[in-house]
Structure 1
Amino acid sequence: MTNITRVKKRDSKKKRFSIIMFFFPLIIICALFMYGYLQYKGAFENSIKDSVLDRTEIEFTPVKSKDDKYNVLLLGIDARDEEKSRTDTIMIAQYNEQTKSTKIISIMRDSYVDIPDYGYNKINAAHAYGGVETLRKTLKVNFDLDVHYFAMVDFKSFSKVVDVAFPEGIEINVEKAMSKGINSTLTAGTHNLSGDQLLDYVRFRQDEESDFGRVRRQQEVLKVLSDEFSEINNVVKLPKVLGTITPHIKTNMKSSLLFSIGQSMLFEKGNDIESMRIPLEGTYTDERYEHAGLVLRIDLDENKKAIQSFLNE
């Protein structure tokens, strides 16, 4: 074999090696993309069978954000009831696109407020009266709070996502025995709770704390889940989690923004979610009205100032 032939063979091997090395990363990326797509598709198809959210369009007139902060109205719905029911959970999540941080405001559902066109009642009656749009107007009238997006979440998604992401459960210190008004029997102590048990934990309200304890536990579990999700492999888990929860969410957010907010809340390591409860301690009294029952008569001015300070600081 001549030297020229040897050189040509070496050059040919080098060229083949270079071509392989060039395409190898693309092959890996394509394989990961296909794996993620199949995980998402399988989870979506499995989850959509249980979704009972009405897919008709929801009336909602959003306000455009003037900066990089987006206020999202989060509504927890028990979809066994009609969607235009009293909302079990009312939260405002503010996502800061620049800092990739999230703040959460939980509004007590018994807060006595002025519902436009309907008069004073509990804030969770606003959704029953006129849907998401009436609740948006109620937040603006009482708290000068602009809402840019909404996300209605079926509670089924909560327990399903927990079971998908954490098959062994989430470790929670249950402060007391809980069974009344929920489907599980929870004993005091530290336990790994399944999705259904965790949902019962955050919905329990049959004690002296009533709705205040329920809101406190909701915010506690959000932070625990944020910490837990930041520890798991994003690439492996995220497509399956998104596929599981998507059929149980009704929103006007674009998929890209929904993805960014979800990733910020659940997958950003070290992301400390700031939270606030409305009404603030010392800014409300218990009152009873014939048309509304037992309500929280709140100092609107004090709570409005607190919200603006919390979101704009």
Structure 2
Amino acid sequence: MKRKKWFIFFLILSIVASGAFFVYYKYIRITKHPESVFNNDNKNNISNSEQALPKDKVYIAFLGLDKNDERVHTLGSFRTDTIMIFSIDLNDKVVKVLSIPRDTYVDIPGFHKDKINAAYVYGGMGEKGYALSLKTISDFLGIDVPYYISIDMQTIPDIVDAIGGVPLDVEVNMHSHGANLDKGYQILDGQKACQYLRWRYDPMGDINRIKRQQKFIIAFANQLKSKAKDVSTYINLYNTFKGKLYTNLNYEQILALIYAVKDISPDSIEKFTVPGDFYDLNGISYWKPDMEKLNEVLQEFTK
């Protein structure tokens, strides 16, 4: 009987030890070799590019959906209102962001030319919509962008309020089309942040809005970093994001990214935008990319 008890004891001890070793191995793998949890083996390239995927660099699309109750009930669909591609160098700890204007005129694989934000709808929304969005982006840029993080833009107010607002210098007075913001430095609460991010009623329209979005992301990251020791902020943020954030990144990959960027200053993030000009076709306004200038931008972005 005693032998049986000792056997059970050592069996349990072995299981616990094995589990602890497994967790430790995972931790070492993620912190020492974060690139190992990403599938950059060139077997699953989604673009037409023959360019090899870098082993230590990850490209992730941030897609903000213009989903709201009115659009769902009247149109039954919604598009990717914000498109940003993040380049994260896992070893050198460098982050870059490339914004793609939502009206960029591109080929949508399997369909025809249209605004790039329509790819999500052509794909059928949901997972298939994300897949076609990534394929469209990857083909357009000539680099593989296999991962995405997406949120409903209508959740922005809750997210901003969860971290206590975002300090920001508003460039101009915004008193039209649902916005009521005065020029100058202030702490934007959730509703004001949403007004700031959506407003595009100046001569450069969506292009200036992109600059504001990039500026806001830096300010948001700085505010989040300032709350690093405030556990309640992260609990609030988790509860806010729960069920409202969509991604094809797995748990290990998310941890690897957090570890890779945790010491990076948000102000060091390099910002780019797809160059081009406004283009009118059959009464519809598009952003026509300047491919020669875009190639120059991509050389810096992928460097």
Question: What is the match of residue 156 of structure 2?
Answer: 158
CA contact 2:67–2:79 (8 Å) conserved in 1: no
What do residues 87-113 of structure 1 show as CA deviations (whole Å, max 9, x unaligned)?
110111122222333211110111111
Check 1:262–1:179 CA distance in 2 against 1; reply closer, same or farther (3 A cut): farther
2:228 to 221, 233, 255: 233
Q: Could you list the runs of 4 or more consecutive aligned residues of structure 1 that deviate by over 4 angstroms after TM superposition?
A: 61-66, 262-265
Describe the shift of the 1:231–1:90 C-alpha distance in structure 2 as closer, same or farther (beyond 3 A). same
* Cα 1:250–1:243 shift into 2, 3 Å: same
The one-letter amino acid of 1:312's match is: T
Q: How does 1:1-313 map to 2 (within 5 A)?
A: 63=46, 66-80=54-68, 81-82=71-72, 84-130=77-123, 131-166=129-164, 169-182=165-178, 184-234=179-229, 236=231, 237-261=233-257, 268=263, 270-271=265-266, 272-279=268-275, 284-290=276-282, 293-307=284-298, 309-313=299-303
Answer yes or no: is the 8 Å Cα contact 2:87–2:302 preserved in 1: no
Query: Distance between the aligned counterparts of 2:206 and 2:241, measured in 1?
Result: 26
**Aligned AA (1:138):** T
- The whole-number CA distance in structure 1 between the counterparts of 2:45 and 2:254 is 16
**After superposition, what is the alpha-carbon deviation per residue over 1:15-47, rounded to whole angstroms, capped at 9, x for unaligned?**
xxxxxxxxxxxxxxxxxxxxxxxxxxxxxxxxx
Deviation at 1:294, TM superposition (A): 1.2
For residue 66 of structure 1, report the CA deviation from its aligned partner. 4.3
With normalisation by structure 1, the TM-score equals 0.70
What is the CA deviation profile of residues 216-251 of structure 1, one whole-angstrom value per residue up to 9, with x for unaligned ones?
000001111222222223461334323322321111
Structure-1 separation of matches of 2:189 and 2:260 = 24
Secondary structure of 2:80's counterpart equals coil
Structure with larger RCO (C-alpha < 8 A, sep 6+): 1
Amino acid at match of 2:139: V
Structure with larger Rg: 1
Unaligned runs of 5+ in 1: 1-60
Instruction: Give me the TM-score of the superposition, normalised by structure 2.
Output: 0.72
Give, in whole Å, the separation in 2 of the partners of 1:306 and 1:90.
16
Instruction: Give 3-state SS (helix, strand or coil) of 2:84's partner.
Output: strand
Q: Deviations over 1:33-87 (max 9, x none)?
A: xxxxxxxxxxxxxxxxxxxxxxxxxxxx765954121111111013324585221
Aligned equivalents of 1:101, 1:155: Cα separation in 2 = 27
Q: Which amino acid counterpart does residue 176 of structure 2 have in structure 1?
A: K
Question: Is 1:230–1:268's contact at 8 Å kept on the other side of the alignment?
Answer: no
Q: Look up the equivalent residue of 1:111 and give its one-letter code.
A: T
Residues 98 and 301, structure 2, Cα contact 8 Å, conserved in 1: no
Q: Which runs of 5+ in 2 are unaligned?
A: 1-43, 47-51, 124-128
Question: For 2:79 and 2:56, how far apart are their aligned partners in 1?
Answer: 31
